[in-house]
Structure 1
């Protein structure tokens, strides 16, 4: 019979665990006896037989190394001769895989597919949160740069992601202070180089460009070219003029910042645009402080400066037949190139830089959440066809100049197609 009920029978009469009597030096057997035993057979500080309790104390050994600490082997001292579940193993025998020993961790610290996926998801989530924070902060800064008059002229609409919104995009001919471009306006009244409406939201997407020389009635100023409205009353008067001319509401405003527009395209890594042959010199060409562009027929990957030059090209020396309508079509194609690049997989790795640069390239009444909804809606809506309000003739203005006239029938047809998305 074993000396204790918990002690299993083993060949040779040896237990599967080591017993240390209370007060007895654990290593006495190795270094010689250090402690004596009293007359009752108990070591000093121990219990005498007959107390109703075991006459020994069991100690669980601590893991001796990394392998034991992380459950990769070692003897089980949790129960005499048995692992949890009743599986026996001999002294020195390693615990079988799959047994969870008391006080030990299952498995090792190696790399597993699950851990790789977890860390990848955490990294992607952090990248997206950082990009979103930069976008919202940058957008909020730009929101304060739109005049109160322009904001008051806008018509309220629903959230761009769920409701159709008409967004007016304006680009003026005023340039930043310090520009070397001869004849460029850096202060005072400026005219709008770009006039485009973009209907987006609720699954709809449509664009309509208005040639800047189109003759319209400007409130308080009579018959004038439509781009003069910006010079007379800024974005606010441009909004009123376009709403009156087309008979549709304008819900949001975007003004292109020529100083930061190239930085956005560079942050995207450039854009792809397909054109015919282009030979353009803006404001005397690059040698005189302006811009020079030479493109062959085909698809080109343009940096920020070249994209801006193409957007502003009105006179193409390689194709003199081109006019302001061609220029308006190119501007829409550049806008499509920006949208395509924004939604490309490669932009994910540039996302924080793009998120910071995108709102700075424009001035808008839209705050961060609304602008984010606008970009998301434009991505969902796809790339709309290029539409330009086509003039049917010319009209002589009171100052002796001439402008383009669009018939009422053509105007109504273009507006209907635009509103239908």
Structure 2
């Protein structure tokens, strides 16, 4: 190229202006350096297509690189999928727990229990009347024979309990079925006969007149109901203080704590001829059975076991009846209260024939009516109702 020759006159190639003169005395103080190029050794030939990356190293290979962040993964490899499945299972379980009692409640019979005429005024807290009817409705002849329930036409109240809940301790009072009380329109008679003479309203009226308590809710259970509930929860534990063999109820149990089925629990709650205090002994056994059933009903296993939960709720409509003013929430509150009884006793009686001790009974029911159950003293609340118990 013209004008770009070797100005020094040396024999060069004419490109010193690009690469420099190469001499220390050259005119370019920092000549451009040549960058050495390393030649790639030839790849060893092998059969097939040539490997573009050269020969593979021998020995174990490193793991493949992780997929880049945000790469799409399979549905079942995501933790969120399992979390959603767990949440769905919990929701379905809660729906089942709520739906089963509601379905059962729609089949429950309701009872018009409120009497007409004058009644005690509304009182603080809630007082439930629990009646164990000896009605044989729903029992086949074979079942009546197996359970020793006798006459299919009988309609008496084998068990009468008053349960009060409020600000103080939950209190349960047994009313002996042979208690002589004034039955409106019929004179003095055994309290359990009021049910047969005038149905539930007359029984409520008789008890309200005798106790001064306002009955807020009503629950009735038949013979088969107790058997069904006990069997549904897998049996209960009873602890008789002596061996009992009662022909009328069909009971035959040994002394001490033992697991029993529904038929035996029913017989235990009905047996009375084994004791000199007769009906007073029976009400103690009834409270023992009720407490044992309550413990089993509200045990975690009754809720977690779907079969037990189904059987337990399924036994309610056939043999339980509730007052017309009761709803499923009221029934649940009653069932919960039955498991939290802090004071349990028999109505104060003057002697073993179940004649009430008027003064002590007045004081007991007065405290309940005023929702001052914490003031109920031991002399007012004894197992048999007798003052010296």
The alpha-carbon deviation at position 408 of structure 1 amounts to 1.8
Match of 1:167 in 2: 128
Larger Rg: 2
Residues 16-60 of structure 1 show CA distances to partners (whole Å, capped at 9, x for unaligned) of xxxxxxxxxxxxxx9xxxxxxxxxxxxxxxxxxxxxxxxxxxxxx
Residues 72-126 of structure 1 show CA distances to partners (whole Å, capped at 9, x for unaligned) of xxxxxxxxxxxxxxxxxxxxx955367113xx24x762485x7666544533432
Aligned counterpart for 1:374 among listed residues 334, 345, 351: 334
Q: Is the 8 Å Cα contact of residues 170 and 193 (structure 1) preserved in structure 2?
A: yes
Match of 1:420 in 2: 372
Give the gaps of 5 or more residues in structure 2. 1-48, 50-62, 374-389
Q: Is the 8 Å Cα contact of residues 214 and 225 (structure 1) preserved in structure 2?
A: yes
Residues 354-402 of structure 1 show CA distances to partners (whole Å, capped at 9, x for unaligned) of 22223544111223232123334445xx2323210132148xxxxxxxx
Q: Secondary structure at the match of 1:223?
A: strand
Match of 2:59 in 1: none
Aligned counterpart for 1:341 among listed residues 289, 296, 311: 296
Pair 259,279 (structure 1): closer, same or farther in 2 beyond 3 Å: same
Match of 2:53 in 1: none
Q: Is the 8 Å Cα contact of residues 164 and 204 (structure 1) preserved in structure 2?
A: no
Aligned counterpart for 1:132 among listed residues 85, 92, 98: 98
Match of 1:224 in 2: 189
Match of 1:256 in 2: 221
Q: Is the 8 Å Cα contact of residues 131 and 352 (structure 1) preserved in structure 2?
A: no
The alpha-carbon deviation at position 202 of structure 1 amounts to 6.0
Q: Does 1:214 align with 2:179?
A: yes
In 2, distance between residues paired with 1:191 and 1:337? 24
The alpha-carbon deviation at position 282 of structure 1 amounts to 4.4
Residues 118-157 of structure 1 show CA distances to partners (whole Å, capped at 9, x for unaligned) of 544533432332232221222232133x2x3x24569897
The alpha-carbon deviation at position 228 of structure 1 amounts to 1.5
Pair 278,415 (structure 1): closer, same or farther in 2 beyond 3 Å: farther
Q: Is the 8 Å Cα contact of residues 282 and 309 (structure 1) preserved in structure 2?
A: no
Aligned counterpart for 1:406 among listed residues 356, 362, 372: 356
Q: Is the 8 Å Cα contact of residues 105 and 317 (structure 2) preserved in structure 1?
A: yes
Please report the RMSD computed on the Cα atoms of aligned residues, expressed in angstroms: 3.3
In 1, distance between residues paired with 2:149 and 2:70? 82
Q: Secondary structure at the match of 2:98?
A: helix
Q: How does 1:245-284 map to 2 (within 5 A)?
A: 245-283=210-248
Aligned counterpart for 1:109 among listed residues 71, 76, 96: 76
Q: Does 1:96 align with 2:66?
A: yes
Pair 224,208 (structure 1): closer, same or farther in 2 beyond 3 Å: same
Q: Secondary structure at the match of 1:186?
A: coil
Pair 328,222 (structure 1): closer, same or farther in 2 beyond 3 Å: same
Q: Does 1:292 align with 2:262?
A: no
Pair 389,314 (structure 1): closer, same or farther in 2 beyond 3 Å: same
In 2, distance between residues paired with 1:368 and 1:253? 13
Q: Is the 8 Å Cα contact of residues 140 and 367 (structure 1) preserved in structure 2?
A: no
Pair 376,122 (structure 1): closer, same or farther in 2 beyond 3 Å: farther
Q: Secondary structure at the match of 2:102?
A: helix
Pair 110,164 (structure 1): closer, same or farther in 2 beyond 3 Å: farther
In 1, distance between residues paired with 2:192 and 2:258? 30
Pair 309,121 (structure 1): closer, same or farther in 2 beyond 3 Å: farther
Number of paired residues?
Answer: 300
